Amino acid sequence: MIMNEPPTPIQLPVLDLSQPVHPSFLTSLSQACEEWGFFHVMNHGIPQDLFSKVCLLSKHIFSLPADSKLKLGPSSSIKTYTPRFIASPFFESLRIAGPDFLASAKSSVAELFDQQNSEFSETLQEYGSKMVELSKRIVEAVLMSLGDGYERKFNESEFNNCQGYLRLVNYSPPECVEDEEVEGLGMHTDMSCITIVYQDEIGGLQMRSKGGEWIDITPCEGTLVVNIGDLMQGWSNGRLRSSEHRVVLKRFVNRLSLAFFWCFEDEKVVLAPDEIVGEGNSRIYKPFVCLEYLKFRESNEEGKYEKVGYTVKDFAALKLEMK
């Protein structure tokens, strides 16, 4: 009998921020960004205690009664909360927007509690500002991986006005499920330049290969997951891949994640610089305004997360003339 070989586990590169990036590492980083659009980061400067604290505070918020949480959205003026049954039956999230994470957290907290809960706002402020610093360092490494000196050329000029927001996500445990695999968040690409994800020890995040195979991204203590988003795919003329991913849940198991999205400013015109396109290569996207793309995505995917098919390709791909 011929046994099928088990699939080779994918070893995504781990960017180690405690030391200068080695040229040989840049090769694996650029390969991973091109092939998978995913990699890990370690020695990122965010202490485990801070993750634990943010998770604990998030759990407390998600455990509040539904009518309290609904004061934060989706129909209220503040709109920071996405309840279950929008993205999926299991997914609920709270958004804290930068650059003033403190003010953003405070405005949600003020709706939820009679008294000021300054611990929540201050912790989220600390987490948000650390994530901003981390995002800048990661973008720098990604630019280095694209070519010698690109971080010096483009980091300031193109990425200086980026902004971040944080999504605290709670996945309720599926109970009676017929299928073995339950999607907590269906297949999608992120609208960001890069996304940095902390997932708890449960795991469940999966990336999709170019061939359509789902590959587990197993949690590893001390590392964070980084993925390339659509804005970066557009800006890099497709050299960096914004790959589809999803979250699968285990029966009876609750899952929590913290996703940080680092994005261009709304008014930015996203256009790959000539050097990034490279001589002799065709431009595959027309220039587009960041906010217009975000609006395009929002108008196409409300309540349809599991069916997401629209990406930067649908929005900005140039129809190449056949020769």
Residues that bind Fe ion (CB under 5 A): 190
Q: Is the separation of the CB atoms in 276 and 146 below 8 Å?
A: yes
Q: Return the number of other C-beta atoms located less than 10 Å from residue 251's C-beta.
A: 11
Give the per-residue contact string, 106-135, with ligand AKG (x = CB under 6 A; - = no). Answer: ------------------------------
DSSP β-ladder status, 38-42 and 14-16:
parallel
Closest CB 279 distance from Fe ion, rounded Å: 34
Contact between 169 and ligand AKG per CB under 6 A: yes
Q: Provide the 3-class DSSP secondary structure of residue 314.
A: helix
For ligand AKG, the binding residue among 105, 197, 263, 271 (CB under 6 A) is 197
Closest CB 138 distance from ligand AKG, rounded Å: 16
Closest CB 51 distance from Fe ion, rounded Å: 18
Question: 228: buried, middle or exposed (CB in 10 Å: 19+, 13-18, 0-12)?
Answer: buried
Contact between 247 and ligand AKG per CB under 6 A: yes
Rounded Cα distance between 316 and 306, Å, is 22
Closer residue to Fe ion (CB): 190 or 230: 190
Nearest to residue 298, comparing CAs of 242, 230, 243?
Answer: 230
Contact partner, 241, from ligand AKG, Fe ion, none, Cβ < 5-8 Å per class = none
- Please tell me the chain's helix, strand, coil percentages from 3-state DSSP, rounded to the nearest 5: 35, 20, 40
Contact between 233 and ligand AKG per CB under 6 A: no
Contact between 167 and ligand AKG per CB under 6 A: yes
Taking CB atoms, the residue at the shortest distance from ligand AKG is 257
Report the Cα 97 to chain-centroid distance in Å: 14
Closest CB 195 distance from Fe ion, rounded Å: 6
Contact between 199 and ligand AKG per CB under 6 A: yes
Strand runs (DSSP E) across the chain, as ranges?
14-16, 38-42, 81-82, 91-97, 163-171, 182-188, 194-199, 205-208, 214-216, 223-228, 245-249, 255-263, 269-270, 288-289
Selected range binding ligand AKG among 95-103, 175-183, 197-205, 304-312, rule: CB under 6 A: 197-205
Rounded Cα distance between 43 and 157, Å, is 27
Total residues contacting ligand AKG by CB under 6 A comes to 11
For ligand AKG, the binding residue among 190, 230, 244, 301 (CB under 6 A) is 190
Contacts with ligand AKG by CB under 6 A lie at 167, 169, 185, 190, 197, 199, 205, 245, 247, 257, 259
